[in-house]
Structure 1
Amino acid sequence: MKKVIPVYDICTLSEFKQEDILISRFAPYRAHHHDLHLAHKHTFYHLVLFTKGGGTHAIDFEQFTVRPYQIYFMIPGQVHSWDFEGVVDGYVINFSEQFFRSFLLKPDHLEQFSFFNGTLTDAVIDLPEAIQKPVIALFEQLVYESEANERMGLDMVRTLMLQVFILIGRLAPSQQARQVSPYNYTLLRNFHKLIDSHYQTLRLPKEYAELLYITPNHLNALCKDMLGLSAGEVIRNRIILEAKRLLINLELSIAEIAASLGFEDNSYFTKFFKKQTALTPEDFRKRTLKIKEYENDKLR
């Protein structure tokens, strides 16, 4: 039987659902949704703060070692799985894109936090000792508010979550430290948004530069300065990431994946993928799913 990577929305986790928000201690959440250790996607934002336990957590095919006082921020569409060791606990919050939209005048308010930009180096954070207690206290208040059903409880949840985001966002003020102008930061963010919307059809930096009303040289210099990558590399990395996400779904053939990504034929897609990863799509699929099967066997 072919494997299909599951995609969960908050409604799927119905016993915890409350108007686009789910807040829980992690141990009961994990026990109730025991299949979530397998590779899956979410349609919502997902953050987990670990307070005890170990093992590994994989996000978009990169593996991280789980440690106490480590927090993970995940955005919709990312693929993740975990392989825990020992007793694991902490907190989990799932929230939809709409949850803050009616509350904040700025619809893109969350995008100012680097841990919500989809870059994994910014999304996995070890909390320094100085803020561990304040962050835990905020999560305890969040659990209380989610269960108490008091007047204006959801607004209290939103304000507590924003405090968590701001407190943790202050840990890595990379924009201020490197004196990146707000204009350049916004430009780069808009470049990423455009890639997410057009990576299937637009492949050249000059095409994105035209949409951003800047020159290709300006776009390339911006990416080199802020990311250490060329604009072309940023585009190719996004295509490869989506290819990997699709390849672990055995319902899709390599040819179907190539077509969905905008490649004219399967052979061109294979050459492109191998050049970027040193593996053919078929080799990546076999290697990745073999690892997953091994992890699943350990849990049986």
Structure 2
Amino acid sequence: MRATCQPAQNNIPTNKISSFSICSFPSYEANAESQYSPHSHPHFQFLWIEKGKGMFYIDTSCVTVAEGTICFVKPGQVHHLVEEDAIQGYSLSFSLEFLYSGETEFSLFYHARHFHVFDSTTLLSNGTNNIVKDIIGKMNNENQKTTIYGEDLLRRYFKIFLLYLFREFECKSNSETAVKPSHLVQRFLQLVDEQFVEKKMVSDYAIQLSVTPNYLNDITKQITGSTAGHHIRQRVLKEIQRKAIYTTSSMKEIAYSLGFIDPAHFSKYFKKITGMNFTEYKSKFLNYSTAKA
């Protein structure tokens, strides 16, 4: 089965959610969120693949998924699954407020640091996958009850789930490099995700982090291989790509939605990053998608 990227008729479907939910997929409930068509949402989400295999599309990338794969989705990322063998699993959707409610040990900074080192997908080790399966089962059972302390139990199960994932990711990260990411750079990446529409200059973020623009560029390049300015431009480009590929919005509409007052400036900005103008880029991608179908 092949996927064809087609622009939505209006906007990208965006699903709203309470502070936490867990559900199995595929689901046949009328109001259930479909994991098999392109969509985005304003919350974080993990997809755990229990059985089957296929492809996971996220923004302009796609990766293979199979039993034991965890997919991580950040707010606003357009994503969907395409099956090769029937895929079954669970989605866990949450807001940061769900984790922080009445707690102090899971601080905002701690979570932001870890969420930025997550890849879009990872294949869990057998040991971690078995533990994750058990915890997800407990969360799913608790979620179907309406009992006293139910939300507190769900929050604690979910934090245990996160801690196992953090440990898995950090073990893999430490095996690849002995240098841990700088807290400053992780905070910078978080700010870019939150503020890229309004702030596109390195100096905007340097002021908030109490460092000079040159230092922020240097330390970011040292740790990530790219300058702070490059990360800002790539984050803006990613949002442009989402809107160009998955919506019918005009260049002018996209420019205004991303904080560009002058569409001509937006056009120059886009061409400088991609090497082609907006119309050429959109036409090239859609023609490529049609040819692959």
Q: Say whether the fold is shared (TM-score over 0.5).
A: yes
For residue 92 of structure 2, what is the aligned residue in structure 1?
Answer: 93
Structure 1 letter corresponding to 2:214: N
Q: Which has the higher helix share?
A: 1
Between 1:55-64 and 1:148-157, the stretch displaced more is 148-157
Conserved? CA contact 1:24–1:143, under 8 Å: yes
Partners of 1:138 and 1:50 lie apart in 2 by 14
Give 1:120-269 correspondences, 5 Å limit.
Answer: 122-173=119-170, 174=173, 178-180=178-180, 184-185=182-183, 187-248=184-245, 250-269=247-266
Q: Give the drift of 1:146.
A: 1.0
TM (norm. structure 2) is 0.83
Structure 2 letter corresponding to 1:178: A
Q: Give the drift of 1:145.
A: 0.9
Q: Which has the higher contact order (CA 8 A, sep 6+)?
A: 2
2:100 match: secondary structure: coil
Structure 2 letter corresponding to 1:5: I
Pairing 1:9–2:6 present: no
Q: Give the drift of 1:26.
A: 2.1
2:163 match: secondary structure: helix
Conserved? CA contact 2:49–2:87, under 8 Å: yes
Change (3 A) 1:51 1:262: same
Between 1:205-214 and 1:69-78, the stretch displaced more is 205-214
For residue 13 of structure 1, what is the aligned residue in structure 2?
Answer: none
RMSD: 2.9
Conserved? CA contact 2:45–2:73, under 8 Å: yes
Number of equivalenced pairs: 282
Partners of 1:253 and 1:284 lie apart in 2 by 13
Q: Which runs of 5+ in 2 are unaligned?
A: 1-7
TM (norm. structure 1) is 0.81
Q: Give the drift of 1:172.
A: 2.6
Q: Give the drift of 1:250.
A: 3.7
Provide Cα deviations, 1:50-78, integer angstroms capped at 9, x if missing partner. Answer: 02112211112111112110001212111
Partners of 1:38 and 1:287 lie apart in 2 by 22
Between 1:131-140 and 1:264-273, the stretch displaced more is 264-273
Partners of 2:26 and 2:110 lie apart in 1 by 27
Q: Which runs of 5+ in 1 are unaligned?
A: 11-18
Pairing 1:111–2:111 present: yes
